[in-house]
Structure 1
Amino acid sequence: MSTVIYPSPIFGPVHSRRLGVSLGINLLPEDGKFCTFDCIYCECGFNEDHRPKKKLLSREQVREALEARLIDMRQNGPKPDVLTFAGNGEPTAHPQFAGIIEDTLALRDTYFPQAKVSVLSNSTFIHKPEVFDALNKIDNNILKLDTIDTDYIRLTDRPTGHYDVREIIEGMKAFKGNLIIQTMFMKGKYQGQDVDNTSDRYVLPWLETVKEIAPRQVMIYTIDRETPDHDLEKATHEELDRIGKLIKDSGIPVSVSY
């Protein structure tokens, strides 16, 4: 089983395929995973295998730890390109997420004003006004949309609670272009079922929806690290390039990570 569990609240910096030198901010406990998805490709493993016992850190604890790390980086390097909310689950699930974003933007402006603030989210809390407003203030509001096929979502992303893809899509439209859509393309099988979402069956309806949402960018990627299910496979360069060209031809900037 894959068990990449991140320290809390600060980890890295790491080199991100999509974002550059990234200082990670993990708002979930350091001893486990808490997420409203239970993706079969998650590098942190399955939810049931890594249930946390520790409590969430407070807004103040996050701010103090982040400021200390930024002071150290300004004195000793490296200079971050981005401060990225990611880690052991869904960052917007933290009840003080909006306040933590306010603190992070203020600290960024003080220590590394050229750095971007990014959030990697599965979009399940964008219906909450305080989460929506916070995501609208950051540089890179990166929201997941792996497909618009409900059965595929249930099989691979495995939402743990209420999830209506049409509600998510409407929530994304409400950002009026101030978002980046991130999509995982992969192949292989899970519990004997095909999980290849690189064919036109999945790509073309997804692409039409992406055009409706009109994000400022789309990030497509494939498996890069160990996954909890070992029958999954990377999408090929050719498959990702084909999908990337479809997005580009629709007039939306795209980045492709192999």
Structure 2
Amino acid sequence: MSTIIYPSPIFGPVHSRRLGISLGINLMPADGKICTFDCIYCECGFNEDHRTKTPHPTRERIAEALEAKLKEMQQDNIHPDVLTFAGNGEPTSHPHFAEIIDDTIRLRNKYCPQAKISVLSNSTFIHRPKIHEALSKIDNNILKLDTINTEYINKVDRPTQPSYDVHRIIADIKAFNGQAIIQTMFLKGTTEDGYDVNNTTEKFVAPWLEVVKEIGPREVMIYTIDRETPDQHLQKATHEELDAIRDRVIALGIPCTASY
């Protein structure tokens, strides 16, 4: 199967469907994947297939590499729209995530003050005070909430922490007081063992919408699979399905974008 393991600590810039010209910051090792989810749709593959043998990049190395790349882009007259923490796993799991955010803000202000800082997170560590504080400093705090159905989460997102509780996650997102962005994957098809993963149906959309309304995020981003997935039986949600869900979010008074 074809999967993407990103360079570390800097990759791109790439063109993001949702964010524009994005310079990626990968806080995981370059030789594999470390994540608190093991999503069946992850473009980086299954966790067990990409075990790392090297340590996380250090705070100092990340800052040096980011500064060097921003200098290079400045010289080439390339202006990033966003500096995006993503890559081979959950960025907030890096032991020095909060300090790295401070470094990134400083370098952004120096080299590309117009650029936004975004973090793509699966929300598993946002209950930690230092992580919450760090995410409160950035422009786009993008937090995953694919569904509120526990069975679906265990079959599709597959949290690696036995303590994962979607209701706690919802409460932790609410603690950002409307400044979080919710990101939700909609897809169809079945898992390799035949579980129906279609979360575009009313069974999943209606309760998800209720929680979105309860959280009151700044924005919602919905999307579907765009690259090859480690589970080969998955299918994209259609434009029409995504547009219908998007319109229902907008009807709640919450901005929403759909990426196909």
TM-score, reference length from structure 1: 0.99
* 1:250 Cα deviation after fit: 0.6
Aligned counterpart, 2:158: 158
Aligned counterpart, 2:179: 178
Q: Distance in 1 between matches of 2:240 and 2:77?
A: 38
RMSD: 0.5
Aligned partner letter, 1:180: I
What pairs with 1:103-182 in structure 2 (closer than 5 Å)? 103-161=103-161, 162-182=163-183
Aligned counterpart, 1:226: 228
Q: Distance in 1 between matches of 2:44 and 2:2?
A: 6
Aligned counterpart, 1:201: 203
1:42-69 Cα shifts (integer Å, max 9, x gaps):
0000000001101111111100000000
* 1:77 Cα deviation after fit: 3.3
Q: Distance in 1 between matches of 2:209 and 2:142?
A: 17
Q: Distance in 2 between matches of 1:178 and 1:100?
A: 21
Aligned partner letter, 2:241: E
Q: Distance in 1 between matches of 2:201 and 2:20?
A: 30
Counterpart pick for 2:252 among 219, 235, 250: 250
Q: Distance in 1 between matches of 2:41 and 2:5?
A: 14
* 1:222 Cα deviation after fit: 0.2
1:104-163 Cα shifts (integer Å, max 9, x gaps):
000000000000000000000001100000000000000000000000000000000121
Identity of aligned residues (%): 69
- Confirm whether residue 216 of structure 1 aligns to residue 227 of structure 2: no
- Confirm whether residue 192 of structure 1 aligns to residue 228 of structure 2: no
* 1:78 Cα deviation after fit: 1.7
Structure 1 unaligned regions, length at least 5: none
1:172-214 Cα shifts (integer Å, max 9, x gaps):
0000011100000000000111000000100000000011110
TM-score, reference length from structure 2: 0.99
Q: Distance in 2 between matches of 1:237 and 1:173?
A: 29
* Corresponding residue SS for 1:194: coil
Structure 2 unaligned regions, length at least 5: none
* 1:2 Cα deviation after fit: 3.2
Aligned counterpart, 1:57: 57
* 1:227 Cα deviation after fit: 0.3
Aligned partner letter, 2:230: P
| Structure 1 stretches of at least 4 aligned residues deviating more than 2 Å after TM superposition | none
